[in-house]
Amino acid sequence: MSLSAPTATRGGPVRWSVAGAAGLVYGCLLVVPFVLVVVFARNYPLHALGWTDGEPTDNDGVLPWLVLLVPLLLLAVAGWVLLGLLGRRALGLPRRQWHRVRAGLAVLPSAVLLLGSLLRSVF
């Protein structure tokens, strides 16, 4: 008797490719909320601490940002949870590996964008 998981629950390369593509596509969609959160943080909390320069033409205050960010972040989290629950069940992949692959690939587009921005500011 083997202690390894049955082949049907491990998933094949096609299932993992679909899971990876879904994580990567959702990660590309998450770039927009990530950029908006960074802009908000630079203009308000980090500026209040004196760590960054605020946007000189911004005189609307925090409320328009919160009206935009709160629903957008709630929608992003709801989509993340829904994709996670439905996708894992539909593909029949193991839970831990599914979440690791999905989280790693979802962060990848934002990390590449952030790294490119840092490299552009250095060089």
In a domain, 4, yes or no: no
pTM: 0.74
Q: Tell me the residue range of the domain where 113 lies.
A: 14-54+61-122
Q: pLDDT value at position 8?
A: 47
In a domain, 43, yes or no: yes
Which residues, in sequence order, are CB contacts of 87 under 8 Å at separation 6+? 19, 22, 98, 102
Q: pLDDT value at position 76?
A: 92
In a domain, 70, yes or no: yes
CB atoms within 10 A of CB 68: 13
In a domain, 8, yes or no: no
In a domain, 105, yes or no: yes
Could you list the pLDDT tens digit for every one of the 123 residues in the chain? Answer: 444 544 445 668 888 888 888 889 899 999 999 889 988 988 888 888 988 887 888 888 889 889 999 999 999 999 988 988 888 888 888 888 888 888 888 889 988 988 888 888 777
Q: How far apart are CA 33 and CA 76, in angstroms?
A: 8
Q: pLDDT value at position 10?
A: 63
In a domain, 78, yes or no: yes
In a domain, 101, yes or no: yes
Count up the domains in the chain and report the number.
1
In a domain, 2, yes or no: no
